[in-house]
Amino acid sequence: MTIDTCLPPLSTLKWSFTTRRVNRGDVAGLSADLAAAQAGDLVLCRVQLLGQHRKLQLADRRTSELYRGDLIVLCLGDRYAPDQFEGHAVLEGPGADLLAGGGIVGKMRHAHVRMALPTQLEVLGILTDIAGERINVAGSALPTADIPDDVTVIGVFGASMNAGKTTAAVSLAHGLTRAGFRVAGVKATGTGAFGDFNAFEDAGVPATDFTDAGMPTTYRMPLSRIEDGFRTLVGTAAARGAEIVVVEIADGVFQAETGAILRGSAIRDRMDGILFAAPDALGSLGGVEVLRAHGLRPFAVSGMVTCSPLGQAEAVAATGVPHHGREELATAEVAEALVATLLRRAKSQAA
């Protein structure tokens, strides 16, 4: 296999969201050693055939249409998305798949039946620095930080993808901001994309995510690395003035990394309370029962289930847990009332 290692002008490339923290001035060449590539390495690709993802989320947080022949910079990474693709961070020759619109390249393993084939890419090489070392997003991560004891950390978990986790998280964060608290949002796990950033910032809440901690995705990452990322992201938010940090955990409770977090982790241990998101009444009951099996109980449930008054009534009756929709969570009164016990607990522990 022969790969062209001639680096094109950097200004002609489309840089994906997952590459946003990398200093482009560090880029000096291309490596043809694809077998040595690791998750997080920056990969230069040429679009060969458009498929499921016909747009790319760029580093400046806008979306670009893709065209055949486009030169794009992506991150090698794994992807877990039951509603889309599962893929692994491997380069098996000059061809590769665009696994996610935020900029993840790898090899598709499984796809939802509704998905078209992934957009096909030609791998041109791995970006390297002046010393010939592969450039990895881990080298541009935030400096490590610890979480102070007086910060309240709220975890947001869900029954599945598209259960309404992000909407619940940003609505609660907005409500707490309206109540006068200094709030930050953190996406601790998932696949790199700017949607959650924009959602938090639209709610008036500053945000960071695992890409700031040097991971393009967290699927198949060691739990210890995810814990370190969580600690740095929440600690950084606190250092920037946050009193309350709302932390979204991606995917559903049966996803491998989410399950590991719930079974026992530094992330679970540091959370002062949990908001759960469910798609329907059965998902609400199932989620509450799964949390109960782990010795946890959410202080409230939100998500798609609250779009239906009948579904919400069924869920409340089945779980005994209060359910609140996005409009309620976004009010100062409801948000503050829901976390009042958590805040009192945090204050007493700090004292």
Burial of 347 (0-12, 13-18, 19+ CB in 10 A): exposed
pLDDT tens digit string along 167-216? Answer: 999 999 999 999 999 999 999 999 999 999 999 999 999 999 999 999 99
* Residue that has been written with the tokens 């010939």 in this structure: 132
The CA–CA distances, whole Å, from 27 to 9, 131, 264 equal 11, 10, 40
Please tell me the predicted confidence (pLDDT) of residue 227. 98
Distance between CA atoms of 238 and 225, rounded to whole angstroms?
20
Mean pLDDT of the region 224-229: 98
Band of the pLDDT at 7, cuts 50, 70, 90? Answer: confident
Close Cβ partners of 316 (under 8 Å, ≥ 6 residues apart): 322, 323
Looking at the DSSP bridge assignments, the partners of residue 339 are: none
pLDDT tens digit string along 275-313? Answer: 999 999 999 999 999 999 999 999 999 999 999 999 999
Tell me the whole-structure pTM to 2 decimals.
0.94
pLDDT tens digit string along 91-145? Answer: 988 899 999 999 999 999 999 999 999 999 999 999 999 999 999 999 999 999 9
Quick one: tokens of 336? 């503050």
Distance between CA atoms of 51 and 33, rounded to whole angstroms?
27
The CA–CA distances, whole Å, from 168 to 90, 178, 330 equal 34, 15, 9
Which DSSP string do the residues of 39-78 spell out, in sequence order? TTBEEEEEEEE--S--EEEBTTS-EEE--TT-EEEEEE--
Under a CB-based contact definition with an 8 Å cutoff, are residues 135 and 42 in contact?
Answer: yes
Residue ranges of the domains in the chain? 10-139, 152-350
Quick one: tokens of 148? 């102070």
Q: Just give the CATH number of 152-350.
A: 3.40.50.300
